[in-house]
Amino acid sequence: MNSSPTQYLNSKRMDVFEPMKPFSMWGDFKGNMYQDAAATMIIEMDAKLDNQLSEDASHTTNGHLNQCDQEASKPADKVLRRLAQNREAARKSRLRKKAYVQQLEASRLKLLHLEQELEQTRAQFALMSAGANASQPGFHKAANSVTPAGIGTFEIEYEQWVEVQNKKTEALKTALHSALSDTELDILIKDTMNHYANLFNIKATAAKADVCYLISGVWKTSTERLFLWIGGFRPSDLLKVLVPQIELSDAQSHDLYNLIQACQQAEDSLSQGMEKLQQTLAEAVVCGQVLEGGCYEMRNAMEKLEELVRLVIQADYVRHETLQQTLRYLTTQQAAQGLISLGEYFQRLRKLSSAWTMRLCEPPNCTS
């Protein structure tokens, strides 16, 4: 009797179900009772076994998947760490490059400042040499053989003016590429124009101290002196520099063309006055009467030099008016761009002079 459940269980496990025939001989009551009990035990055991198999299979599958995920995540984590390291190295490289460029720019500005000081020192040395030569035997020691105090002041003021002008040009450049309104930009334009007016004022003072010094252009760099005209730049050259840098309408082009024609007429008039003044000055020197003690009468020549002072001031007036008239024909944005182009033009002339001077200091073997 006790072997029946085991036989049924084994049959179920082997997917074979064969009812035991001998139980039918015992009668319906006993056969049905044991048959039902055996069937219930078989179902319960099958359910437990199925659950256990399902749990084992799920545990095995999940464990295998987790192991695969861990193995797959290991290379991905390694790649991410490598990418992060590369980004950090690239960021540090960019910072080092930026610092190096800033250092080079600071060195360049320092070198430019030293070159400008060298140019001024050479100019002062030339003036001192001229005064020393005048004091040698055979030369009459003039009252103004020593550089006037006003000229020394002018040299200091002009050097400061150039430094401030470079800063104002950079400020305009930054403002033009930012989101500043036209009102704020116009304030910077007026400030730059006042700075140019200040230059003409200190030049007028220097002309009264020594007009010959101012006209000679020794206070400028060598390349700037190539374009010198009566102590400064030609107004028409100023327009020729500005106009190509600005996008103009047809009306603006017409107005600026007429302004160039007017500038050239004023320049021709002043140039003729300069030539006539030089001629009359030479005649006054030649025709000066000989005085006692080997001196010469220089009153007429001195008067001609006074006229030369007025001529230089008139030339600066034409320069200033040309600059103001040009900006009146332009919009706020165009005016800012014009002043930037003008400032950069003078900066490049000074840099060219410095490069030309520095080439003399290079060893011959270093020349390519």
Domain parsing of the chain, residue ranges: 3-76
According to the model, what pLDDT value does residue 289 have? 62
According to the model, what pLDDT value does residue 330 have? 94
Higher pLDDT, 210 or 42: 210
- pLDDT exceeds 70 at position 67: no
> Rg of the chain over CA atoms, in angstroms?
49
According to the model, what pLDDT value does residue 12 have? 43
C-alpha span between 68 and 164 (Å, rounded) = 70
- pLDDT exceeds 90 at position 45: no
The tokens for 120 are 């001024």
Categorize the per-residue pLDDT at 78 as very low, low, confident or very high, splitting at 50, 70 and 90: confident
According to the model, what pLDDT value does residue 73 have? 59
- pLDDT exceeds 80 at position 198: yes
CB atoms within 10 A of CB 250: 7
Task: Convert the pLDDT of each residue in 294-341 to its tens digit.
Answer: 556 677 778 888 888 999 999 999 999 999 999 999 999 999 999 999
According to the model, what pLDDT value does residue 140 have? 37
Contact predicate 333/281, CB 8 Å:
no
Higher pLDDT, 124 or 156: 156
According to the model, what pLDDT value does residue 201 have? 94
DSSP 244: G
Higher pLDDT, 42 or 101: 101
Task: Convert the pLDDT of each residue in 142-184 to its tens digit.
Answer: 334 445 667 888 999 999 999 999 999 999 999 988 878 889 9
- pLDDT exceeds 70 at position 128: no
Higher pLDDT, 95 or 110: 95
According to the model, what pLDDT value does residue 3 have? 46
Which among 214, 202, 220, 243 has a CA at the least distance from the CA of 338?
Answer: 243
* Summary mean pLDDT of the chain: 76
According to the model, what pLDDT value does residue 14 have? 44
Region of poorest pLDDT, from 274-283, 316-325, 355-364: 355-364
For the chain, percent of residues with pLDDT exceeding 90? 37
Find tokens 């000989």 and name the residue. 290
Region of poorest pLDDT, from 153-162, 192-201, 260-269, 350-359: 350-359
Categorize the per-residue pLDDT at 280 as very low, low, confident or very high, splitting at 50, 70 and 90: confident
According to the model, what pLDDT value does residue 298 have? 73
Task: Convert the pLDDT of each residue in 245-275 to its tens digit.
Answer: 899 999 999 999 999 999 999 999 999 999 9
C-alpha span between 331 and 252 (Å, rounded) = 10
Find tokens 């695969």 and name the residue. 68
C-alpha span between 283 and 298 (Å, rounded) = 11
